[in-house]
Structure 1
């Protein structure tokens, strides 16, 4: 028994979800969405390290399309995972990867104005100490600041919005509104939203003096529902290992089963993960979400930027793999899709690649998200809840 590393490539789907037709971007079903496949088709993708682990093979298995430039014979164990939770969002994907399919239907706010019911709007005003909020509709994090940022600076009203996910987001200026005031506002309203089965309340701080230079900061904070049952992080702790969250993992799981947590920019998180290859001990589990591919590129429908970010990650991965020790296990996978070529701005319902370094080579085939948790638990000698089967 050594260590286990799970890196979630946020939104890096590979198409082919059999139930994609039941999920929508506006009026368009997600049938045919394929994050990796369409990036490869539209701009090509130079990711030799992930391809050597089986990335191209996973895309071909998932959808049957050609993957020019990604034709390596996999040296690792590889496959495609399929989600059963009724969501295409961050908590659903991460919880299920940790062995817990979401046991309820999330609450979503309607694409209307106002989007929030009166009692939610009133709670937001009380928490902010204002008599009004801005937006109160579906939007995305860049556009909403462009649309309402200057009015926010003039009025002091917080910008409150939602999306096709089960989420309520609050954007406010770090200095004018105050970062701690924003975080406290989110903490105050989160219990009500969680009782409604809204998955997350997210603080979205930004800086800048006007629309020309508004910029979101790295001080985002997610206030998520606590998983209702023990998950992989708890199983590892019960087996005597420590769990290290890198990126937004601690927020997603409300620190359930997390011993240490580090946040920061992509570069800072990659450096932290490099450091954990030296400091983590036998039996430890390192759970990481390093790059916000969806926030930075998928939601913005930026095919070129998404592909370039994947290539930068692959360069880092080539330097990271030799740091792993004998007996270490690394699994690369994703939590959902976010096809940057797809109409709309929402996530897309897709299967995801599963790439394994450190285990036996060969094809896994189609597996479940919960099989990822079962495999890590088996590697670390931890019990699981029986929802998945190890593919090692």
Structure 2
């Protein structure tokens, strides 16, 4: 029977400040706890797997259901990021076995004039903004001028990103993607941001809305990840959501994009019905994009509760040799003044028939242990940065 691993990244679902949180301005951050301050937060199925038995993970005392003593049905641990960053690209690369000792460049004062000049020259469109901004606020401020002039809205954040926003009626999405491809080509060397992101939007001034046709143009990983190792071994690597974008398509054998968490879960369930041997790698982005960055505590709580509600459907489709892993790539505490990612521990919950229940491995020193363990389970040769914990979680 084929072995399959389903690795779900709950984008930004951190579980408490990392030891070096002060270096990133994130002391006191705890994304899950912040979401749990909302009265409607409810994750009983994740609790049964051991989610709240993970060191440092906690919920607000109002939740009586979370106080119930249970024997976890899965194996759990918390992961400490070793890379010098707290963004999506570095987090996912580390999960896949590459530790990044050097942070990717950020531009707190906007991008240099020579880069902007090159972008304007090659695209034929002038640039608006060129400053760090919230994605929703930047289109409210510059959207009207963009519609009147056709100039592109270029902005960044505390992360290593160059984002380009454009109204779909002014610049068709395919043209926006080509503009971003140009920006990706220009953003090399000292300007090598982790991602160039297309941010299409619709609507009228005062009523703009970003659409689901966002597209990330990432740097190519500097060396082979677990995805390459699995693919090179003749096995399958199925990518759901922005996984294909994060790895610049490298190591992926089949992919599907998603509109939101609901769509991502539905497409994961569809892949679970397929016969394949290898990895299905899923990113559920709503936690981060829709709620963390917008400091929306109730929204974040609702998104976590929704995932938990759908979890039994995922569990029901696991085959005898399947393993399910649920983790995160960084934090994004929606209760802090910052709207940026937060440097936090991340959870790892592992379930499936092969998994030893009621197992807590404490704290692992790097996300890269995940990729190494997956390759170990699939019997795939690898030279990744992590250490396998497979023997500690199997029955």
TM-score by length of 1: 0.93
Structure 2 counterparts to residues 90-169 of structure 1, below 5 A: 90-110=88-108, 112=109, 115-130=110-125, 132-169=126-163
1:17 matched residue in structure 2:
18
Structure 2 counterpart of 1:284: 278
Distance change >3 Å, CA 261–CA 390, structure 1 → 2? same
1:365 pairs with one of 362, 367, 384: 362
Count of aligned positions: 379
1:236, 1:242 within 8 Å by CA — same for their partners in 2? yes
**Match for residue 383 of structure 1?**
381
State the Cα RMSD in Å.
1.6
SS in structure 1 opposite 2:170?
Answer: helix
Partner of 1:31: 27
Deviations, residues 106-145 of structure 1 (Å, cap 9, x unaligned): 11102x3xx1111111122123312x31111110111111
Match for residue 330 of structure 1 among 324, 327, 344: 324
Deviation at 1:178, TM superposition (A): 1.6
Hey, what does 2:42 align to over in structure 1? 46
Inter-partner Cα distance in structure 2 for 1:280 and 1:94:
25
The aligned residue for residue 220 of structure 2 is 226
SS in 1 for 2:288: helix
Q: Distance in 1 between matches of 2:84 and 2:252?
A: 25
Q: Residues 212-262 of structure 1, C-alpha deviation per residue, up to 9 Å, x if partnerless?
A: 2x1111111111100011001011112221100000000000000001110
Segments of 5+ residues of structure 2 without an aligned counterpart are 391-395
CA distance in 2, matches of 1:386, 1:247: 24
Task: Supply the distance in 2 between the matched residues of 1:123 and 1:345 (Cα, whole angstroms).
Answer: 30
Could you tell me whether the CA contact under 8 Å between 2:13 and 2:332 is conserved in 1? yes
| Structure 1 match to 2:211 | 217
> Is 1:201 aligned to 2:165, yes or no?
no
Cα contact 1:6–1:287 (8 A) shared by 2: yes
Shift of 1:321: 0.8
Confirm or deny: 8 A CA contact 2:119 2:186 kept in the other structure.
no
Deviation at 1:187, TM superposition (A): 0.4
What is the DSSP-based 3-state SS (H/G/I as helix, E as strand, rest coil) of the residue aligned with 1:99? coil
Structure 1 residue corresponding to 2:288, chosen from 291, 294, 298: 294
Q: Residue 56 in 1 paired to residue 57 in 2?
A: no
- Give the superposition deviation at 1:105: 2.6
| 1:127 and 1:189 in contact (8 A); partners too | no
**How do 1:183-198 residues align onto structure 2 when only pairs under 5 Å count?**
183-195=177-189, 196-198=191-193
Contact 2:82–2:101, Cα closer than 8 Å, also in 1: no
- Partners of 1:291 and 1:314 lie apart in 2 by 15
Q: Please give the alpha-carbon distance, in whole angstroms, between the structure 2 residues aligned to 1:335 and 1:248.
A: 13
